[in-house]
Amino acid sequence: MRIWTTAIGLVVVAAAGYGVVSFVFPEALHDVVAADAAQQEQPPAGGPPPAFPVPVSVISKTTVPVYLEYVGTTEAIREVTLQAKVGGYLQETGITDGADVKEGDLLYRIDPDDYQAALDQAKARLQGDQAALEYATSSQKRNAALSATGAVAKDTNDEKTSLMHQAQANIMADKAAIRTAQLNLGYTELRAPFDGRLGKSLVHEGALVTAQTTEINTLVQMSPIYATFNPSETDLALIQKYRAGGDLTVDISIAGEDKPRVSGKLTFLDNTVDRNTGTITARATVENTHHELLPGQYIKVRLHLTEKPDALLVPQIALGSSQMGRFVYVIGEKGTVEQRFIETGALMGDKVVINKGLQAGDKVITGNLQKIGPGMPVQALPEQPSAS
């Protein structure tokens, strides 16, 4: 039973000859009536709780890559220690430390004066021997003619012929000496044998360089570059299976990055398995055009094997775990929360492949997970279809 409390004010207004009576309801009466009406609109105690709003991701089928992941290192395809083939004082450094160079670029120059002088001497010796050859040849011809008439002994003619042949041999030796002097003079210039990047110079102008002993600098090839990693022997059969169907792509990224920096092809599998580690050495050749990777750097290697159609992806933030295993919450047919235990597969960025436990069209709850539980009524916020 409701008890009404009413306050009525009475105001009497008198006028000449007659009276007018007015009844006025104060504001307090209006507030009481409004409060009572609101009380009547409330649902009776013990009714169902309101549905809790939650964000969802609608699961759909998509094609995803199947890959294996490893930790590896980069290696330069070519790396050389620069040494001079001739000795002398270092006269000039042609390029700064750490610079990228092209094949044929001048790197260092050794004082060439001694080698230029040796070349000039060899050329002068050739000119002298050429003159001697001319005389020996002329003498041999005269003696040959006289020997034919008996005016000169045959032994004398043979001697002149021998001297001519010796002069010819001297010419050949002189030409070889000139070639050697030219080579030595050329060796005073150290040029890049291939495109690459220099390290830190170990000697500087004025230092005495010993032939084939003094280490001057190092040069490494930057592109292409090797990415070396070690698959387990259990992965070997799988790799060989898909490699038989064509080249396998390898994506390379560095620590702290999910997006690959460069990609390449698997080009080498060793012929033995390491007994101590149970792994095999594998190597990919990667184009490093922009020099984003350096030799010796630790990398993450993703070896792409094939494509998996009709895969189901779920945001990683939707996953929970318990002693029973990993699970997700989905909105069931009655609009209540259902707990589904799942089997996960490969990671795909911020999503994970679901191998078992879900099907296309399921609405996976992706937020407010700590505020819900199985059987709780929920209402989906605007859907966010899972990306492929």
pLDDT tens for the chain, 388 residues long, are 344 433 334 333 333 343 444 444 444 444 544 445 444 445 455 556 788 899 999 998 999 888 899 999 999 999 999 999 999 999 999 899 999 999 999 999 999 999 999 999 999 999 999 999 999 999 888 888 877 887 778 888 788 889 999 999 999 999 999 999 999 999 999 999 999 999 999 999 999 999 999 999 999 999 999 999 999 999 999 999 999 999 999 999 998 887 889 999 999 999 999 999 999 999 999 999 999 999 999 999 999 999 989 999 999 999 999 889 999 999 998 899 999 999 998 888 788 999 999 999 999 999 989 899 999 999 888 765 544 4
Q: Give the pLDDT of residue 45.
A: 53
Q: Give the pLDDT of residue 21.
A: 41
Neighbours of 147 (CB within 10 A): 18
Q: Which two tokens stand for residue 207?
A: 């230092």
Q: Which CATH superfamily is domain 67-77+222-308 in?
A: Efflux pump adaptor protein, beta barrel domain (2.40.30.170)
Question: What is the bridge-based pairing of β-strands 61-76 and 298-315?
Answer: antiparallel
Q: Give the pLDDT of residue 14.
A: 36
- Calculate the alpha carbon distances from 223 to 45, 102, 290 in Å: 75, 12, 8
Strands of the sheet containing 100-101, edge to edge, are 79-83, 215-220, 196-198, 100-101
How far is the C-alpha of 319 from the C-alpha of 341, rounded, in Å?
Answer: 10
Closest listed residue to residue 376, CA positions, set 42, 51, 45, 40: 51
How far is the C-alpha of 86 from the C-alpha of 189, rounded, in Å?
Answer: 10
DSSP three-state, residue 45: coil
Q: Give the pLDDT of residue 255.
A: 83
Q: Give the pLDDT of residue 113.
A: 96
What angle (nearest 5°) sits at the alpha carbon of residue 319, between those of residues 313 and 322? 140
Tokens 């080249």 belong to 247
For CATH 2.40.30.170, list the domain ranges present in the chain: 67-77+222-308
For CATH 2.40.420.20, list the domain ranges present in the chain: 53-62+311-380
Q: Which two tokens stand for residue 27?
A: 């504001």
- Calculate the alpha carbon distances from 233 to 72, 272, 277 in Å: 16, 10, 9
Q: Give the pLDDT of residue 12.
A: 36
Element (H, E) at 134: helix 113-149
- Partnered with residue 288 across adjacent β-strands are none
As assigned by CATH, the class of the 53-62+311-380 domain is mainly beta
Strands of the sheet containing 106-110, edge to edge, are 189-191, 106-110, 88-93, 208-209
Neighbours of 23 (CB within 10 A): 8
pTM of the model: 0.67
Around 328, how many Cα atoms within 13 Å sit in the side-chain half-sphere? 30
How far is the C-alpha of 293 from the C-alpha of 211, rounded, in Å?
Answer: 33
| In contact, 86 and 187? CB cutoff 8 Å | yes
Closest listed residue to residue 189, CA positions, set 86, 82, 109: 109
Closest listed residue to residue 366, CA positions, set 349, 384, 342, 347: 384
Radius of gyration in angstroms for the set of CA atoms belonging to the chain, rounded to a whole number: 47
Instruction: Give me the sign of the Cα torsion angle 60, 64, 66, 69.
Output: negative
Q: Give the pLDDT of residue 40.
A: 47
Element (H, E) at 240: helix 233-243
Instruction: Give me the sign of the Cα torsion angle 28, 31, 37, 38.
Output: negative
Number of H helices, E strands in the chain: 4, 25
